[in-house]
Amino acid sequence: MLERLQKIIAAAGLGSRRESETWIQDGLVTVNGQVADKLGAKADPERDAIKVKGKLINPQLASRKLVYYLLNKPKGYLSSLADPQQRPLVTALLPKDAPRVHPVGRLDFNTEGLLILTNDGALTNIVTKAGDHCPKVYHVKVKGKPGPAQLERLQRGLTIDGEFHRIARLSPLEITDYDNAWYELVLHEGKNNQIRKMFDAIGHSVVKLRRVAIGHLTDAGLPVGAARELTAAEVGRFFSKRKIAPRVVARKLGKPRPTGEAKARQRERLAATLGAPAGERLPASRPSHSATPPSRSARAATPAAARAAAGQTPGKKPGQTPKSAGAKPDSALPGARSARVRRAPRRTP
């Protein structure tokens, strides 16, 4: 079956699809001895001989076992498979018998938190390009305390070096840390040093940064520096069509909700608007439309009862006296059985 070369190379566990595309463009991939330097090139791993950097990858494709690790990366490790500066790599934290895997996405050298490592190119593609289907959650400690205007700039998004950076969710964390502030951020994209660049742009540099969730995976029960294999159910959720993590609802950073006296004044203003006494408790919801309406006799008695309470006679203006003292009272008129009238329920606008 013909497949794109970058997908085949990623499936062999040599790297991500993006890295595979770079190798193809650099002419490091051959198919049956011919250089394949176009991204649209396809091959059949069961019939074609595919080499990357001069090494045949068909045996790896035939015997590979898909593995998935979740690592709680500490500071001071590089999210890569090699480093010319000989810095520590995240692969050194995996079990010694682990097959060759690659990190899904990256965490900066001084950033800690969750990182997936696998040899499954399909999962790599899903996690890195899922957008809001697979949000990444971070906890960040910044120097100082940004003001409301600065936080609003972050929520609107910033253009840095000609590239637009956006935060999906931003909410403060209630952590006391001298004069520094903690925030929870949710990203749907993963640009290089994105969080650090955005806080630098508003004048509050990042002091500490860690990723606490990738989609439905969290760091609960996984110490810093430890790794574990993902279960089949955890892996399967990434391939499901439904959202693999609920959206994180951040608290608004604007005007706080009224409490105490401010809340009482707000209710008084609302009561005055609705025409209800200030001390009367306002209905919490609109009445049901299925309530029984007043009878025709009750509707007919309503104006008559009102005029009786005002000392008026039907058909007379205020101040006029009836022609005869023996006039029947309103309560004796046809259809008015009682002065107590059932009122229609008040509707809240």
| 274-283 own/partner pairs: CB under 8 Å, 24+ apart | 274/348, 274/349, 276/346, 282/348, 283/346, 283/348
Catalytic-role residue among 37, 48, 97, 108 = 108
Q: Which residues of 13-48 are buried (b: 16+ CB within 10 A; e: fewer)?
A: bbbbbebbbebbeeebbbbeeeebeeeebebebeeb
Concerning whether 108 is annotated as a catalytic residue, the answer is yes
Indicate the angle between helix axes 148-156 and 194-201, nearest 10 degrees.
Answer: 140
Q: Which among 5, 243, 246, 20 is positioned nearest to 124, based on CA atoms?
A: 20
DSSP conformational letter for 84: T
Distance separating the N- and C-terminal Cα atoms of the chain: 64
State how far the Cα of 2 lies from the Cα of 311, in Å rounded to an integer: 96
Runs of H (alpha helix) within 104-206: 121-129, 148-156, 194-201
CA dihedral 212, 214, 219, 224 (to 10 degrees): -70
* Catalytic annotation, residues: 108
